[in-house]
């Protein structure tokens, strides 16, 4: 998939670059750019004015898109934090469960013979019940 995207980007960017170079070579005539609120006048080639405005538009669009996605990024950060907390809690609970299983195994191993002998002793010491009635 990555190769396809690489080829697609090359297939798009090479003609765009060729067009940009051709446009720049054919449009060298100077234009006067007047920056109204500042009272500045700049004379530059027409292709440079066009490219500068395109770059400015792309940057401005990127900034607005980034600002517009602020809530989504914030929500994703919160979800990532909650997921990390849940992961840590799960790890802690698994460790507790493993420790309890080990403790249960050791208790079963150590008390199994004793429990049978205690059971027989308890049964022998309990007097039989007499039926009254």
Q: For residue 39, what are the domain limits?
A: 18-68
From CA 19, how far away is CA 25, in angstroms rounded? 10
Instruction: Please tell me whether residues 62 and 74 are part of one structural domain.
Output: no
Rounded CA-CA distance 94/102 in Å is: 12
**What gap in Å lies between CA 4 and CA 8, rounded to an integer?**
6
Q: Are residues 22 and 60 in the same domain?
A: yes
Q: Is 55 in the same domain as 92?
A: no
Q: Are 31 and 51 within one domain? A: yes
- Axis-axis angle for helices 2-26, 46-68 (nearest 10): 140
User: Residues 55, 38: contact at Cβ < 8 Å?
Assistant: no
pLDDT in tens, 84-122: 999 999 999 999 999 999 999 999 888 755 545 555 555
Residue 113 lies in a domain: no
Q: Give the bridge partners for 42, in sequence order.
A: 33
In this predicted model, what pLDDT tens digit does every residue of 19-47 receive, in sequence order? 988 988 898 899 998 888 888 999 999 99
């Amino acid at each position: 998939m990555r190769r396809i995207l690489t080829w697609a980007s090359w297939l798009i960017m090479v003609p765009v670059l060729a067009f940009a170079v051709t446009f720049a070579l054919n449009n060298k005539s100077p234009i006067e750019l007047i920056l109204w609120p500042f009272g500045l006048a700049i004379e530059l080639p027409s292709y440079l004015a066009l490219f500068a405005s395109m770059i400015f538009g792309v940057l401005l669009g990127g900034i607005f898109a980034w600002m517009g996605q602020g809530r989504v990024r914030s929500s994703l950060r919160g979800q990532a934090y909650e997921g990390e907390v849940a992961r840590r809690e799960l790890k802690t609970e698994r460790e507790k469960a493993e420790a309890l299983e080990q403790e249960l195994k050791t208790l079963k191993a150590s008390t199994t013979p004793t429990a049978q002998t205690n059971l027989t002793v308890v049964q022998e010491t309990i007097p039989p019940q007499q039926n009254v009635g």
